[in-house]
A and B are shown apart, each in its own frame.
Chain A
Amino acid sequence: MAVTASESVRRSAPPDEPLLELDGLTVRLEVAGARRPVLRGVSLQVHPGEAVGLVGESGSGKSMTARAISRLLPAGAEVTGQIRFAGRDIGGLAGGELRSYRNRISTVFQDPRAHTNPVRRIGDFMTEALRTNLGVPAAAAQRRAAEALRQVGIEDGERRLRQYPHQLSGGMLQRVMIAAALLTSPVLLLADEPTTALDVTTQAEVMAILDDLRRELGLAMLFITHDLDLAAAVCDRTAVMYAGQIVEVRSSSLLHDDPLHPYTAALAAARPDITRKAERLRAIPGRPLSAFEAPQDECAFAPRCAHARDLCRARVPDIIDLASGLSRCVRAHELRGQLAMAADG
């Protein structure tokens, strides 16, 4: 019984079916004695081979979404809604099934040093999942690890496998993490701010490697970042999160020039521009709110939004389908085409 169940997780979904589907995902956590939402009705699909960006500021819920997908939510989290992987609800997976699911999704985290054991060699770390979960013999696992290191541009893989994390630079270690994430032949990569701790030239390098390999291997990716431009550079579609909700989903190429939600436009406009000094930056008043601090029965962004009207405060806006994308703004139709201009003017 368990074998067939785990087989169904391994099998890839038909091409037109989403590989990963979040359906009204709501997560509540115990905060200061009360149960409060950290994610509110998050719905998002990632298709096989597709790269989707998840962009937001602190407290927006982007990392919590990744933890929900990995089934690594804090103890006591109350989850409603569904996460389906290859058509199957992952909420009930346990034991071998859960391990098998986790081998199909690999995660690359922001801080590689926090996710490696400083007293264990790179080789031990890289081959652990292969040896323990998939039963690959140690020597074969080492060969596959060295090969994976070559794929991320590390030529002297055999030597690196004998080294310890402290002997590698941050950029090199993050490449090791990417190689390790690919070793179990996943179909989905969860990349949670994988280059935020790196220098900008190293970031460009690591992102190029990640992007190349993902395309070569036909992997789907959920790329979590605070950087709208970085997400747009490597993702087909980008979802923007604010206060635990998705407020916009849009083809990445259109996101900057034709945003559908005022928050996306405001976020793009607030960033200083390397090509020109602005007289004043278009700061968003106030600060980003976490889901549990944001107003629960009106638009969560309304208190900071330059376009807010009475109807924005009347109720929580639904996601509106605008043919070229989704927006959680009641004025989305009306504001269409004006948001980018407002941002640049």
Chain B
Amino acid sequence: MADQVSAPVLEVTGLRKEFGSFVAVDDVSFSVRQAGSLAIAGESGSGKTTIARMIVGLERPTSGAITACGHDRSRPARAARDRRRRGREVQIVFQDPYTSLDPRQSAEGSISEVLRRRHRDWPAARRRERTAELIALVGLDARQAQTVPRELSGGQRQRVAIARSLAAEPRVLILDESVAALDVSIQAQVLNLLSDIREQTGVSYVLISHDLAVVRQLADEIIVLRRGLVVERGPTARILDDPQDGYTRRLRASVPRPGWKPRRSSSTGNGSPGPS
């Protein structure tokens, strides 16, 4: 037990992914401890989603190692038992709550299905009880729990996706732009919810995000990715307050905030002639 607390729950070493001649992820290493929260920040094409997909087994790394809870997962699971164990170790919440839920299944149904696999020995009453707990944890009411995704808003659907992933009692939850599509007022609710869940359950987060303000709110540590390479890493507060790498600085300076003005970067800025 003492061993589990000190050892990272997720460790990625020298991870590389090539698509043909294109290198999407290049020698990326990081680790996440129990109840820790690490952000992988970067823009489109930086490789951050490819890393998430490799961790959950949707892509196979070209080279490098991924270890969750002491088990290697850089190769496809061979047996159903392995697959189930991996599901208990790492879960993912995708960006788009409109396409990541079964349109015919109610929130209750989809959570209950995961519980049936996770705890095969549970009687139906126990499953119902746990489903209700999870529904309450993510702040949905009984009526919403029984409706199909079509009748829920984006924020409500994302809560269902979070509840379903938590039903598997994962040690690590990967949040792949999970709040990016939400309205500001709903995003704040879901971010608060995610903070509470980490505190209550000790789950670890890997937050994949392009939004540095969201990263600041939710992640203790950050790695900044550009074209598959880690350009800067460290505690979130230090990296965002005092970025050293030129790209991190540019990323930081591009975020709109009170008093901010957009500026043309020197690479494309040119004294454009007036209109004809």
**Chain A contacts to B: CB under 8 angstroms:** 57-58, 144, 147, 150-153, 155, 170, 182, 185, 199-205, 207-209, 211-213, 216-217, 226-227, 229-230, 232-234, 256-257, 266-267, 270-278, 280-285, 287-288, 304
Contacts and interface: CB of A to CB of B under 8 A. Distances in A.
A134 B250 CA distance: 42
6 closest A-B pairs (Cβ-Cβ)? A283-B188, A207-B262, A204-B254, A284-B185, A199-B43, A281-B188
B270 A153 contact: yes
Contacts of A277: 216-217, 236-237
Contacts of B265: 201, 204-205
A147 B185 contact: no
B132 interface: no
A212 B258 contact: no
Interface in B234-276: 236-237, 240-241, 250-258, 260-265, 268-270, 272-276
B185 A57 contact: yes
A244 to B, nearest CB: 15
B249 to A, nearest CB: 11
B231 to A, nearest CB: 13
A113 B216 CA distance: 32
Contact of B188 (A151, A229, A270): A270
Contacts of B241: 275
B148 interface: no
A144 B276 contact: yes
Interface in B25-73: 43-44
Contacts of A288: 183, 185-186
B272 A212 contact: yes
Given A229-B257, A267-B185, A283-B185, A234 B262 contact: yes
A199 B44 contact: yes
19 contacts: A150-B270, A151-B275, A199-B43, A200-B254, A201-B254, A203-B254, A203-B262, A204-B253, A204-B254, A208-B264, A212-B264, A216-B275, A226-B184, A229-B258, A266-B185, A270-B187, A271-B188, A277-B237, A304-B185
A204 B273 contact: no
Given A57-B185, A155-B270, A208-B264, A283 B254 contact: no
Interface string B176-190: 000000011111110
Contacts of A275: 216, 240-241, 257
A4 to B, nearest CB: 27
B268 A205 contact: yes
B216 A280 contact: no
Of B156, B186, B211, chain A has the most CB atoms within 10 Å of the CB of B186
A272 B217 contact: yes
B151 to A, nearest CB: 12
Nearest to B237: A277
A64 B115 CA distance: 43
A267 B253 CA distance: 22
Contacts of B188: 270-272, 281-284
B208 to A, nearest CB: 14
Contacts of A216: 272, 274-275
Contacts of B272: 150-153, 212-213, 216
Nearest to B46: A199
A202 B44 CA distance: 11
Interface string B212-225: 11101100000000
A150 B217 contact: no
A142 B39 CA distance: 46
Contact of B213 (A147, A170, A274, A282): A274
B201 interface: no
Of the listed residues A284, A287, A288, the one surrounded by the most CB atoms of chain B closer than 10 A to its CB is A287
Given A199-B210, A230-B256, A282-B188, A217 B275 contact: yes
B262 A211 contact: yes
Given A147-B276, A233-B256, A283 B192 contact: yes
Given A229-B256, A230-B256, A273-B216, 17 more contacts: A151-B275, A153-B272, A200-B255, A204-B253, A204-B254, A208-B262, A226-B184, A229-B257, A270-B184, A271-B187, A273-B217, A274-B252, A274-B257, A275-B240, A277-B237, A281-B188, A284-B188
Interface in B185-212: 185-189, 191-192, 195, 210-212
A311 to B, nearest CB: 24
Contacts of A144: 276
A299 B33 CA distance: 48
Contacts of A58: 154, 183
Contacts of A280: 192, 195
Contacts of A182: 275
Contact of B258 (A256, A266, A276): A256
B109 interface: no
Contacts of B253: 204
Contacts of A271: 184, 187-188, 213
A232 B258 contact: yes
A68 to B, nearest CB: 22
B273 A151 contact: yes
Contacts of B214: 272
A57 B255 contact: no
Contacts of A152: 272
A204 B273 CA distance: 21
A200 B210 contact: yes
A182 B275 CA distance: 10
B146 interface: no
Contacts of B189: 283-285
A42 B250 CA distance: 39
